[in-house]
Chains A and B, each alone.
Chain A
Amino acid sequence: MTALATIVLHLDLTPESQRALQRAIHLSLLSGATIIAVNVVNRHVVTQLARTGAKSLAEIEIELEENGWRYLYAAEEEAKNAGARIVVLQETGYPEEVIPRIAAEKHADLVIVAYGQRARSDITAIRSAEQIFEHAPCDVLVVK
């Protein structure tokens, strides 16, 4: 692996993504790389939740956006407290499109993604992960 300058970390609010954050912080401290922590307000999830009818589309988006930001700022605080360099970013869309695009735009050297048990049992999440692996312009570290 070449020297790391930029790590794109996909934070998806799962327990595995907390472990992915730990890996990113560790690598950042070793290499001096900047972590770009990205949460995607996932349109797949918005659509799935909207189908239940319990909440409106707008309510679901507000909830996911706020949860995403809260998670991002918690991650940022953890990284900065450890002395790692990090910036946070939230976008709405599909992770399989957003993550490779940001990795390309920011010339990332590594993408770190969580791929836990829940994701591996959900066909939409499996396809999304496969596309991230396929389209990322650099190496991908999968945290299980």
Chain B
Amino acid sequence: MKLSALLTPERVLLDVKEKNKMTLLSLMTSHLAALGGVADPTVLDREIKEREELGNTGIGRGVGFPHAKSTQVKEIMVLLARPAKPIEYGAIDNTPVSIVLMIVAPADGDNNEYLHTMARISRLLGKNEVRQKILAATSPQEVVDIVKAFEA
């Protein structure tokens, strides 16, 4: 599944004021829940953070990619956040994170689809040109359009 099939302007948060990784993750799960489709946001928040505790999801080059399979959702959901200032994320390359893409998938869903979607997103956000355009975007719709253009 392509990121552009999952990402809508409502699922893009620009210039988020949070300065702390864990509070940013909580904000993101709350926002996902507000959009609907999350049974219990508190449980989802805990699941995301438990996975994060077992291994940092900063994949380098300023990208955080928190992810989890959860009983709290029935379909794959994403949310992209761009902090107002890069935040310390503890990423593998020690680079502060400027783009955070959260993905959650049903615990009993198609694992291959989940892994394939994550792989596509990782490759997409690994491109310097994509990251630069997302960082320069002035609206959520522009971010969606950038993703669509690069996945076309």
Contacts and interface: CB of A to CB of B under 8 A. Distances in A.
19 contacts: A34-B55, A66-B119, A66-B123, A69-B119, A69-B122, A69-B123, A73-B115, A74-B115, A77-B111, A79-B54, A84-B54, A85-B54, A87-B56, A87-B57, A87-B92, A88-B59, A89-B59, A90-B122, A90-B126
B26 to A, nearest CB: 20
A16 interface: no
B55 A80 contact: yes
B77 interface: no
A70 B122 CA distance: 9
A70 to B, nearest CB: 4
A86 B119 contact: no
Contacts of A66: 116, 119-120, 123
**7 pairs of A and B residues whose beta carbons are closest in the complex:** A69-B119, A70-B119, A69-B122, A86-B55, A66-B119, A80-B54, A70-B115
A77 B120 CA distance: 17
A90 B127 CA distance: 13
Interface residues of B, number: 19
Interface string A33-76: 01010000000000000000000000000100111111001101
Interface residues of A toward B: which range?
A: 20 to 34
Contacts of B19: none
B115 A65 contact: no
A83 interface: yes
Contacts of B116: 66, 70
B51 interface: yes
B118 A70 contact: yes
B60 interface: yes
Interface in B64-121: 67, 69, 92, 111, 115-116, 118-120
Given A34-B55, A66-B116, A89-B59, 4 more contacts: A62-B123, A66-B123, A77-B115, A88-B59
A89 B118 contact: no
A89 to B, nearest CB: 5
Contacts of A88: 55, 59
A84 B51 CA distance: 10
B119 A80 contact: no
